[in-house]
């Protein structure tokens, strides 16, 4: 069997493993958190959708792609999440071939196994949000920038340019990603020929031209952040290692990986005739380290100097160079014989603490079922904060959720009233029975006085139930 055929069989087997791990659980947890927001707006007409971006926190690419995906496949959990699964799947051959080029086939296999069994990547690979698109595009950038710097490939410059351009249209954090690329280029600038530097400058110009429509949206977003701040909190120093633990499936998995690394280090020191770590510090390893560290620590520093952005899902792309770095350095500590036999042991801690079924700590499907079991057609439903309405409506009535043009009127006809506080509630004509859905308002709104307002209007609390995410549903009657 030729090396080419064997390599493709291995790659297809890894893709098959990835599909098996993800497809089986793609509907195992309910649509919740930010997913209903993406789904609701993506199903709108393109004109209405593009108008929405003037006040939206995210660039348009994922919404537009999801819009056309919904047109074909609908809005079931499997349908909307399968788009993310496609991007995550496309990441595998990119990462596999890149690592194979810099460290060999064993490292590429182990890196993909890490990718498949990472809890964090596993969840975002099947979440109906932009993050799988983000780490797919980043993997292209990581690979193509390496080809430009170390292999002098002119064609890779334009792959890099397109990857960065699509990144900019996928998430605003991409601006910081591109800044870290400039840092890496400056470190290795001596390796670049003048002709390549000229092409790089031209590609940056073309990228800026391609991003002209997005610059206006970026300016609006920056102006909003300057005026109102951001919901992301200022990071604590513990998050520097806390996110690493999260990326490595928790502290026990991380400790296991570290122990393997330490054992390899001591083995090399005491069993090999010569111990010299300097040859292990290859330029390709330094490149991976810089791509990870400049982004990860750069975003932490940026959070303190400008605006907080050090959030685990914003950092998801740093998972890729981090995983590659861990695997490749472990292989470098082995000789060729050892790496063939023992490198795969590195996967065991990650697999041991792998959560096959993701948990988003929400169960709005059970919440809606509880209301259905108790309600009658005359019950009013009060939802606070109002943004939870999309999650509720998705599980309450999929047809109503899909009818975005008439949503306000249909909510009124179905006695569904999103509101912020008890003052707004005074302007609503409620029925004799009321369900009040409190979606952790103590955290987001403080005392919104809705519950006390209902009691003040002579409603009697009949029953209540607590659901995941600190959600409480109260059932009142006059």
Residues 18-52: pLDDT tens digits? 999 999 999 999 999 999 999 999 998 888 777 77
Residue at which a domain ends, from 323, 352, 381 = 352
How far is it, in rounded angstroms, from Cα 444 to Cα 402? 27
What pLDDT is attached to residue 439?
A: 93
Asked whether residue 359 is assigned to any structural domain, the reply reads no
What pLDDT is attached to residue 219?
A: 79
What pLDDT is attached to residue 269?
A: 66
Q: Are 384 and 404 in the same domain?
A: yes
Of 94-98, 137-141, 420-424, 445-449, give the lowest mean pLDDT range. Answer: 445-449
| ∠ CA 426-427-428, rounded to 5° | 95
**122 within 8 A of 358, measured Cβ to Cβ:** yes
Question: What are the φ and ψ backbone dihedral angles of 214, each rounded to 5 degrees?
Answer: -80, -20
Asked whether residue 268 is assigned to any structural domain, the reply reads yes
Asked whether residue 428 is assigned to any structural domain, the reply reads yes
Q: Are 167 and 114 in the same domain?
A: yes
What pLDDT is attached to residue 36?
A: 95
The per-residue b/e assignment along 293-316, b for 16 or more CB within 10 angstroms, e otherwise, is bbbbebbbebbeeeebbbbebbbb
Confidence band for 2, pLDDT divided at 50, 70 and 90: confident
Q: Are 423 and 291 in the same domain?
A: no
Q: Are 319 and 418 in the same domain?
A: no
Q: Are 220 and 97 in the same domain?
A: yes
Residue at which a domain ends, from 301, 318, 352 = 352
Average pLDDT over residues 274-302: 83
Q: Are 329 and 373 in the same domain?
A: no
Asked whether residue 339 is assigned to any structural domain, the reply reads yes
What pLDDT is attached to residue 266?
A: 77
Q: pTM of the prediction?
A: 0.92
Range of the domain at 166: 3-352
Q: Are 264 and 377 in the same domain?
A: no
Q: Any long-range contacts for 206-209 (C-beta under 8 Å, 24+ apart)?
A: 206/161, 207/161, 207/164, 207/165, 207/168
How high does pLDDT run on average in the chain? Answer: 89
Q: Are 439 and 471 in the same domain?
A: yes
Q: Are 255 and 378 in the same domain?
A: no
Q: Are 177 and 229 in the same domain?
A: yes
Asked whether residue 357 is assigned to any structural domain, the reply reads no
Q: Are 81 and 36 in the same domain?
A: yes
Which is it for strands 416-418 and 460-467: parallel, antiparallel or unpaired? unpaired
Average pLDDT over residues 226-240: 80
Number of domains present in the structure of the chain: 2
How far is it, in rounded angstroms, from Cα 138 to Cα 420? 39
Asked whether residue 378 is assigned to any structural domain, the reply reads yes
What pLDDT is attached to residue 298?
A: 95
First CA to last CA distance, the chain = 78
For 77, 188, 294, the CA distances from 283, given in Å and listed in that order, are: 44, 9, 16
Asked whether residue 358 is assigned to any structural domain, the reply reads no
Residue at which a domain ends, from 310, 328, 352 = 352
Asked whether residue 154 is assigned to any structural domain, the reply reads yes
Q: Are 327 and 371 in the same domain?
A: no
Of 52-56, 168-172, 387-391, 445-449, give the lowest mean pLDDT range. Answer: 52-56
Using the predicted structure, report yes or no on whether residue 322 has a pLDDT greater than 80: yes
How far is it, in rounded angstroms, from Cα 343 to Cα 331? 6
Choice between 298 and 282, residue whose per-residue pLDDT is larger: 298
């Amino acid at each position: 069997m030729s090396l080419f055929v064997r390599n493709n069989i291995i790659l297809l087997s890894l893709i098959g493993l990835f599909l098996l791990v993800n497809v089986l659980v793609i509907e195992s947890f309910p649509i919740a958190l930010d997913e209903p927001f993406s789904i609701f707006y993506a199903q709108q007409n393109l004109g209405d959708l593009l108008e929405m971006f003037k006040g939206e926190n995210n660039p348009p690419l994922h919404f537009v792609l999801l819009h056309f995906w919904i047109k074909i496949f609908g809005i079931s959990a499997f349908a909307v999440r399968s788009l993310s699964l496609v991007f995550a799947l496309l990441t595998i051959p990119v990462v596999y071939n890149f690592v194979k080029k810099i460290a060999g086939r064993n490292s590429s296999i182990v890196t993909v196994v890490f990718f498949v069994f990472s809890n964090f990547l596993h969840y975002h690979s099947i979440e109906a949000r932009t993050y799988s698109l983000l780490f797919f595009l980043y993997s292209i950038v990581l690979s193509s920038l390496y080809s430009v710097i170390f292999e002098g490939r002119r064609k890779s410059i334009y792959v890099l340019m397109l990857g960065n351009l699509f990144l900019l249209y996928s998430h605003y954090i991409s601006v910081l990603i591109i800044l870290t690329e400039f840092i890496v280029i400056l470190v290795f600038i001596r390796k670049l020929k003048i002709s390549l530097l000229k092409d790089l400058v031209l590609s940056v110009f073309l990228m800026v031209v391609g991003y002209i429509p997005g610059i206006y949206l970026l300016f609006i977003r920056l102006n909003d952040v300057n005026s109102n701040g951001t919901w992301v909190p200022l990071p604590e120093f513990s998050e520097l290692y806390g996110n690493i633990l999260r990326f490595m499936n928790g502290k026990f998995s991380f400790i296991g990986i570290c122990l393997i690394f330490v054992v390899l280090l001591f083995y090399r020191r005491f069993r090999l005739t010569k111990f010299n770590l300097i040859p292990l510090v290859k330029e390709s390893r330094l490149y991976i380290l810089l791509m990870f560290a400049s982004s990860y620590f750069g975003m932490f520093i940026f959070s303190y100097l400008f605006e907080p952005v050090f959030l685990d899902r914003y950092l998801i792309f740093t998972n890729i160079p981090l995983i590659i770095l861990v695997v490749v350095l472990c292989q470098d500590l082995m000789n060729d014989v050892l790496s063939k036999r023992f490198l795969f042991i590195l996967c065991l801690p990650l697999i041991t603490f792998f959560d096959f079924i993701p948990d988003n700590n929400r169960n709005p499907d059970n919440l809606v079922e509880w209301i259905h079991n108790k309600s009658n057609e005359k019950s009013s439903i009060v939802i606070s904060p109002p943004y939870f309405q999309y999650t509720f409506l998705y599980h309450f009535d999929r047809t109503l959720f899909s009818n975005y043009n008439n949503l306000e009127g249909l909510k009124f006809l179905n006695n569904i009233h999103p509101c912020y506080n008890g003052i707004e509630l005074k302007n609503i004509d409620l029925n004799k029975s009321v369900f009040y859905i409190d979606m952790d308002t103590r955290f987001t709104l403080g005392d919104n006085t809705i519950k006390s307002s209902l009691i003040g209007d002579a409603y009697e609390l009949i029953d209540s139930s607590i659901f995941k995410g600190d959600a409480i549903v109260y059932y009142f009657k006059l």
